[in-house]
């Protein structure tokens, strides 16, 4: 591995794979608790207040990225888009929760999509994001391919499944806090086999014609 690649996968002296997995698990638990409290009629602003309360009650150490909650058409937006405070969740609607939380000095990052009501295409989209994530992660575990190859595979599989992959969202580094000092870049641009416990595989897809999408992300770990 080149020095540049080693730098992109650097970690601090406190780094622990077990601590990374624990941070991932706590972050997913927070995602689930937050989602359980989001109901039709709630605005994105209220949902963010709810998320802050859940995280505080769970004893989080700090956020390492802002909490993202998107309703309806907002599920098409990327991380950098601003919250729409008055956007309201409908009776038949879709939303996702994306959290970046530090626990015990390690960065958890987790995201999932949820559906209220009984729109079958929304439910299928949410499930497709999870399925696609699992297929891409399994490709990495079985074949040890590069980050670039993973996202080429993800785009091809999304097309075959009838969805559109958001190519702007291609994964990133995590580590003991703060990972940003290592300049890891996007997983989808990484020209080497990604190491276990250091990279978040992000999948964001959209419906081919309707204005909604779905998001799922998790830590790539060799032993699933």
Yes or no: say if 46 and 83 are a contact pair by the CB < 8 Å rule: no
**Residue the block writes with tokens 């605005």:** 43
Instruction: Supply 204's token pair.
Output: 């964001």
pLDDT given for residue 7 in this prediction: 84
Yes or no: say if 205 and 129 are a contact pair by the CB < 8 Å rule: yes
**Distance of alpha carbon 95 from the chain centroid:** 13
- Give the global pTM: 0.96
CA 213, CA 28: separation in Å to the nearest integer?
20
pLDDT given for residue 164 in this prediction: 98
**Distance of alpha carbon 66 from the chain centroid:** 13
H helices then E strands: how many in the chain?
Answer: 5, 7
pLDDT given for residue 5 in this prediction: 66
CA 23, CA 98: separation in Å to the nearest integer?
14
pLDDT given for residue 224 in this prediction: 60
| Orientation angle between helical segments 17-36 and 44-57, nearest 10 degrees | 130
CA 158, CA 170: separation in Å to the nearest integer?
14
Secondary element (H or E) of residue 96:
strand 93-103
pLDDT given for residue 4 in this prediction: 65
Q: Which domains does the chain have, with CATH numbers?
A: 3-219 (3.90.230.10)
Ordered per-residue pLDDT tens for the chain, 224 residues? 554 667 899 999 999 999 999 999 999 999 999 999 999 999 999 999 999 999 999 999 999 999 999 999 999 999 889 999 999 999 999 999 999 999 999 999 999 999 999 999 999 999 999 999 999 999 999 999 999 999 999 999 999 999 999 999 999 999 999 998 988 999 999 999 999 999 999 999 999 999 999 999 999 999 86
Secondary element (H or E) of residue 213:
strand 213-219
Q: Please, which residues have CB within 8 angstroms of residue 160's CB and are 6 or more apart in sequence?
A: none
């Amino acid at each position: 591995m080149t020095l540049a690649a080693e730098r992109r996968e650097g970690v601090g002296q406190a780094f622990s794979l077990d601590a990374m997995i624990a941070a991932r698990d706590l972050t997913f638990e927070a995602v689930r608790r937050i989602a359980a409290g989001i109901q039709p009629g709630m605005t994105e602003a209220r949902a963010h207040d709810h998320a802050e309360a859940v995280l505080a009650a769970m004893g989080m150490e700090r956020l390492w990225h802002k909490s993202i909650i998107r309703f309806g058409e907002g599920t098409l937006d990327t991380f950098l888009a601003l919250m729409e405070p008055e956007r309201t969740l409908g009776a038949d609607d879709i939303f996702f929760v994306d959290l970046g939380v530090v626990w015990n000095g390690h960065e958890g990052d987790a995201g999932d999509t949820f559906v209220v009501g009984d729109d079958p295409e929304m439910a299928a989209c949410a499930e497709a994001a999870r399925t696609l994530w699992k297929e891409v992660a399994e490709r990495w575990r079985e074949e040890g391919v590069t980050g670039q190859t993973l996202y080429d595979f993800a785009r091809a599989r999304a097309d075959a499944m009838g969805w559109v992959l958001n190519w702007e969202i291609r994964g990133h580094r995590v580590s003991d806090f703060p990972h940003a000092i290592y300049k890891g870049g996007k997983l989808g641009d990484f020209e080497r086999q990604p190491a276990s416990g250091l990279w978040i595989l992000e999948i964001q897809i959209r419906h081919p014609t309707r204005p909604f999408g779905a998001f799922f992300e998790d830590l790539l770990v060799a032993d699933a």
